[in-house]
């Protein structure tokens, strides 16, 4: 791939919400490639400070129930529509993964570096999905802090449930992102 084509892919990535996604999702081989891309993120000390939990199709109903239960715990008078929206997050996307950050104490690799590495991995995952023609998004929300849900998913103490990654075909395209002026993040040092 030419540098121009690669850059065009990088620059055109958008997050694609689950309601804009459709089947088919990535095959298991394609998902493995996306995870390989995530594993190529810079990682000081090769600590792998993150992990993914994949939810098979056969488990989506149970995940939807967990999302519904969490919604009702957090908002006892939630409307039927809100509950349905919570459930849909678990079911309306072809591929669903949880992204868990798991920094470990290490004098040589401070926690913030492990978080940066995890973020880079997540970015690579989303970019790989986009490069392969899929739409993807990561969504967190209050449910990620819910102890009962965390426990049900096997997220341990010391781990952070950072969000849920949805991946599928892009059914309705997202408009290009509004450009952001590079000067907002790039400055020249003047002593």
Q: How many residues bind ligand FMN (CB under 6 A)?
A: 10
> Is the Cβ–Cβ distance between 26 and 83 less than 8 Å?
no
Judged by beta carbon, residue 14 or residue 60, the one nearer ligand FMN is 14
DSSP assignments along 45-100, one per residue: GG---EEEEEE-GGGHHHHHHHHHHHHHHH-TT--HHHHHHHHHHHHSSSEEEEEE
- Longest CA–CA separation in the chain, Å: 60
Measured from the CB of residue 179, what is the shortest distance to ligand FMN in angstroms? 12
> Is the Cβ–Cβ distance between 179 and 156 less than 8 Å?
no
Judged by beta carbon, residue 10 or residue 27, the one nearer ligand FMN is 10
Quick note: the x/- pattern for ligand FMN over 118-147, rule CB under 6 A, is: -------------------xxxxx------
Is residue 14 within the footprint of ligand FMN (CB under 6 A)? yes
Measured from the CB of residue 143, what is the shortest distance to ligand FMN in angstroms? 9
Residues near ligand FMN, by CB under 6 A: 14-15, 137-141, 162-163, 177
């Amino acid at each position: 791939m030419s540098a121009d084509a690669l850059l065009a892919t990088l620059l055109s990535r958008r997050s694609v919400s689950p309601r804009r996604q459709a089947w088919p999702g990535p095959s298991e081989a394609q998902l493995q490639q996306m995870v390989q891309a995530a594993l190529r993120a810079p990682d000081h000390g090769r600590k792998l400070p993150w992990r993914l939990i994949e939810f098979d199709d056969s488990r989506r109903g149970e995940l939807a129930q967990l999302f519904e239960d969490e919604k009702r715990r957090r908002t006892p008078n939630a409307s039927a529509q809100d509950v349905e929206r919570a459930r849909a997050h678990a079911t309306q996307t072809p591929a669903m993964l949880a992204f868990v950050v798991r920094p470990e104490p290490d004098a040589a690799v401070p926690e913030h570096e492990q978080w940066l590495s995890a973020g880079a991995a997540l970015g690579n995952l989303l970019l790989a999905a986009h490069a392969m023609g899929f739409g993807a998004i990561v969504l967190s929300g209050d449910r990620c802090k819910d102890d009962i849900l965390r426990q049900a998913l096997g997220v341990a103490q010391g781990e952070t449930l950072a969000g849920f990654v949805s991946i599928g075909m892009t059914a309705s395209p997202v408009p290009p992102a509004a450009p952001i002026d590079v000067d907002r993040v790039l400055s020249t040092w003047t002593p």
